[in-house]
Structure 1
Amino acid sequence: MQQLSRRALFGAVPGVLAASAAQAQAQWPDRPVRIVVPYTPGAFNDSLGRLIGDRMPALLGQPGVVENRSGAGGSVGCSAVAQAPPDGYTILVCNTANMAFNPFIYPNLGYDPVRDFAPLGICARLANVLVVNPDVLPVANVAELLAYLRARPGQVNYASSGAGSSPHLAMELLKARTGVNVTHVPYRGSAPATADLLGGSIGLMFDNVPNALPHIQAGKVRALAVTGSERDATMPDVPTFQQAGVDRYEMYVWFGFAAPVRTPEPIRARLTAMLRRSIADQEVAERIRRLGADPWFQDPAQMAAVLRSDLDTWGPVIRAAGIQQG
């Protein structure tokens, strides 16, 4: 048998590798896809990851397996995905907090939301709502609240579910837009903050609409405004901040998926198509609504534009507030 020359042998290697890569992409997926949720089980991020994972067998032929990797405000899980092999078998459930807040909050983040990830699509979003305990703060609307706070600069405390959380940033945005001075009291989650709000030791807080809604409906707290561009369907009598007279105030928390940046485009396209079909499914959309969010599909280009806009919005707000962790 004729022996191949060294030049011929090594010259063939790139072509062999390219053919192998193309074959691997054509066969993808031939095993389960890992869905990394960078938070503990139970939150909306986790529910969305499991909801999409349940759709994967029908749409991709392989299951999606959720892996919770919490820590540092989601940064631990995000860093793990950024460093994962870009083969389509590891994707991230990402949101406004870990993509648009964390880069300004954590000095040693471990990932760059633009450089290290390929967007696959946004699937849902939700708004926050500002609520007060009327026994502590006798105000009926945003204008009365702002007047009350301006008469007592720095004397009123507000709760949040944690430093750097979306409820915390919602108040910092309100401060930036109106100039009011209120004092932040961070809690370790929404539940203990809400307990103190209901108990009267704190006067006001922002929270995700699904968390606050039962207490609003029970009459235990008063909703003053929602942070979105439209009124929330679950409480149509509550205005948006812009309707309440606060200019340039809009905030949503979005939830989507991303892959390591070098994941091949054909694989990314199939993942995006899977997400699009999942969100278009009426049963999936209804389950998202029952979880308190709105189905909101944005393709990769739209997701990238949303992220750029959020980075431009939240960088100045976070720097002005001096929020830092770690």
Structure 2
Amino acid sequence: MLSSRRTLLARALRCAGALAAGLALSTAMAQTAKPVRILVGFPAGGGSDAIARLLADKLKDQIQAPVVVDNRPGAGGQIAAQALKGAPADGRTLFLSHDHTISILPLVTRNPGYEPVRDFVPVAGIATFVNAFAVSGGTPAPNFGAYVDWVKAQGGGKGAVGIPAPASTPEFLVQLIGQKYQLDLVAAPYRGSAPMVADMLGNQIAAGVGSVQDFIENHKAGKIRVVAVLGGKRQAAMPEVPTFSELGLKGFEDLPYYGLYAPKGTPQRELNRLSVAVSKVLLLPEVRKQLTDLGLTMDYMTQQQLAARERAYTQAWTRIIQGSGFQPQ
């Protein structure tokens, strides 16, 4: 009996030692593996940055390598996109982008320095989101109709509305709002949503247009009021806020998206590995909760699905931009 117990104990110790060695080897491999960069075209503190940091934190466990976020703010994401174009196609440089840099900028900029279809390859779609119209805490307007009335009372209906980047979806929305409600609105471009929100919190600008995730925390805290959202239905995170369709401004029901991209020429096996890793990360309950809390709708897309979404969105916005008379700058 004693001999049997000793044998079982020896086996248990060997198993524990093997498990510890395996864990140590796995940790060592993760520490010595070359890091993967996720490029972000906007400053730290904004919605894109928050999503990238959440992905980076969880992806490292899936791919057994460090994952770092590399902010390259400026020009509405062009700087980061150009960095992706020039990066080695080895699966170690990725670009987290929403629709603006991928679908809109090439339509409104004469020479953005990249061509998405030619220079990039989709890895995986992350989520969809909606843009929102918000007013600062110092703006005496509890809803969108009251905001319109307030602007009309401000010396001929003139007003400035912050936008995260020039020639963006928010800028065209500001233009259409001005036309529909006979307001003289000027879109004031910022270098990302973080500085725009900072000015709204300081009552330096009365209103702004950005993604729901840019405003949601301050909206819940009562520091900024989201008064309307785009898309075909109200958002679960703020069900009291009406859509622009409800308010009579239609044509913005197609939802923008977040996707992960790699340089063209990246080996297919690397793309497949990364896409599968992203799909597993998006299944984690804590990730789903955090992205939902940011006002995003989980929407994992394969490489092919993200490419199709990109084409459809680009086609829709080509019609809107051409119809607005906007000339590429």
TM-score range, shorter chain: 0.7 to 0.9
Which residue, out of 300, 303, 306, partners 1:303?
A: 306
Aligned to 1:52: 55
State the AA in 1 paired with 2:326. G
Aligned to 1:108: 111
Aligned to 1:68: 71
Which residue, out of 80, 85, 99, partners 1:82?
A: 85
Aligned to 1:213: 216
Q: Deviations for 1:126-146, whole angstroms, at most 9, x for unmatched residues?
A: 222223469867685559949
Aligned to 2:24: none
Q: Unpaired runs of 5+ in structure 1?
A: 1-28
Alpha-carbon distance in structure 2 between the residues aligned to 1:118 and 1:223: 35
Aligned to 1:239: 242
SS of 1:232 mapped into structure 2: coil
| CA-atom RMSD in angstroms | 3.5
Aligned to 2:188: 185
**2:75/2:165 contact within 8 Å kept:** no
Aligned to 1:93: 96
State the AA in 2 paired with 1:297. Y
Aligned to 1:264: 267
2:276 aligned with 1:287: no
Deviation for aligned residue 1:239: 1.7
Aligned to 1:14: none
Aligned to 1:229: 232
Aligned to 1:3: none
Note closer, same or farther for the CA distance 1:291–1:222 as it changes in structure 2 (3 Å cut): closer
**1:91/1:260 contact within 8 Å kept:** yes
Alpha-carbon distance in structure 2 between the residues aligned to 1:48 and 1:300: 19
Larger helix fraction of residues: 2
Deviation for aligned residue 1:102: 1.4
Identity within the alignment, %: 31
**2:43/2:192 contact within 8 Å kept:** no
Paired positions, count: 297
Deviation for aligned residue 1:62: 1.8
- Higher mean displacement: 224-233 or 244-253: 244-253
Note closer, same or farther for the CA distance 1:91–1:243 as it changes in structure 2 (3 Å cut): same
SS of 1:301 mapped into structure 2: helix
Deviation for aligned residue 1:110: 1.3
Note closer, same or farther for the CA distance 1:242–1:118 as it changes in structure 2 (3 Å cut): same
Aligned to 1:33: 36
Deviation for aligned residue 1:311: 1.4
State the AA in 1 paired with 2:68. V
Deviation for aligned residue 1:101: 1.7
Deviation for aligned residue 1:189: 4.8
Deviation for aligned residue 1:31: 2.9
Alpha-carbon distance in structure 2 between the residues aligned to 1:135 and 1:77: 34
Deviation for aligned residue 1:265: 1.5
SS of 2:89 mapped into structure 1: coil
2:326 aligned with 1:322: yes
**2:151/2:158 contact within 8 Å kept:** no
Deviation for aligned residue 1:36: 2.0
Alpha-carbon distance in structure 2 between the residues aligned to 1:221 and 1:30: 43
**1:177/1:249 contact within 8 Å kept:** no
Note closer, same or farther for the CA distance 1:215–1:64 as it changes in structure 2 (3 Å cut): closer
**1:117/1:259 contact within 8 Å kept:** yes
Alpha-carbon distance in structure 1 between the residues aligned to 2:220 and 2:146: 22
**1:174/1:249 contact within 8 Å kept:** no
**1:129/1:207 contact within 8 Å kept:** yes
**1:170/1:251 contact within 8 Å kept:** no
- Higher mean displacement: 72-81 or 166-175: 166-175
**2:127/2:298 contact within 8 Å kept:** yes
Note closer, same or farther for the CA distance 1:257–1:176 as it changes in structure 2 (3 Å cut): farther
State the AA in 2 paired with 1:232. Q
State the AA in 2 paired with 1:71. G
Q: Unpaired runs of 5+ in structure 2?
A: 1-31
Deviation for aligned residue 1:180: 6.4
Which residue, out of 313, 316, 321, partners 2:316?
A: 313
